[in-house]
Amino acid sequence: MTTAREVDQALQPSILSFVRDVPNLCSLAGLACTVSAIYFCFLGNFYAAMIGMIWAVAFDWADGLIARRMKGRTGNDQIFGAQLDVLIDIVSYGVTPAILLLSYGRFDPMFLPGAFILLAAAAIRLSYFSTFGLSGSAEYTGLALDNNSILLVFVFAFESLLGGEVFLPVLYAVCLALAALNVSPIKTPKLSGNPINVKILALYTLGTTALYGWKLM
């Protein structure tokens, strides 16, 4: 005799069936960029890491825009996509900046507290957002995590001008400030849902890619 539970399980879609969803493919492309950024951080090739970090944001913003414009997505598609986004965000905007800080600091133990604070703030913020969502129609409580990468990529452009000894404490201070803003009660606008902002980010992504590509040469 077939039980109701067995019937429900038989009707469940396969895990990999969600990979065919275009927004999820876009999310996974962003994850690939994040993995490359982490890889280059370990190698000490920080300019290449910046390119990976900003492209991860670009794909993150694009998947939401695509998802909102797609028709025929089921409730399961939306729930799965939201969960996938959250899990990728913790890697892209929590783990990656922490590794960037540790790697640029040559893995000196004094940078471990900063790396922990960055990652803890990201985990706390994502848990809070998963529980309460947007503060208003288009506002977050605290600074959204994607801004961490956008700002770090901008700040890192001054690394060659300041020199490593001066830039290292600057980077540490910026990372701690971002972590504090992530869990602060301030209200910040939701930028990623606006097509105009997506276009601005696209220009910023291409511009920073060209800049860091030139530095790599």
Q: How confident is the model at residue 198 (pLDDT cuts 50, 70, 90)?
A: confident
The pLDDT tens digits for 64-77 are: 778 777 776 777 87
Q: At what angle do helices 146-155 and 96-104 cross, to 10 degrees?
A: 30
- The answer as to whether 7 is a domain residue is no
Q: Let me know if residue 13 belongs to a domain.
A: no
The CATH number of residue 56's host domain is: 1.20.120.1760
Lowest mean pLDDT among 9-18, 104-113, 187-196, 202-211: 9-18
Residue 8 lies inside a defined structural domain of this protein: no
Residues spanned by the domain of 38: 20-216
| Cα distance between residue 204 and residue 123, in whole Å | 27
**Is residue 3 assigned to a domain?**
no
How far apart are the C-alpha atoms of 183 and 123, rounded to whole Å?
A: 10
* Assigned domain for 4 exists: no
Q: Determine the pLDDT at residue 136.
A: 61
Cα 152 from Cα 102, distance rounded (Å): 14
C-beta of residue 150 within 8 angstroms of C-beta of residue 104: no
Report how many domains make up the chain.
1
For residue 52, being part of any structural domain is answered with yes
Determine the average pLDDT of the residues in 44-54. Answer: 98
Q: Is residue 139 part of a domain?
A: yes
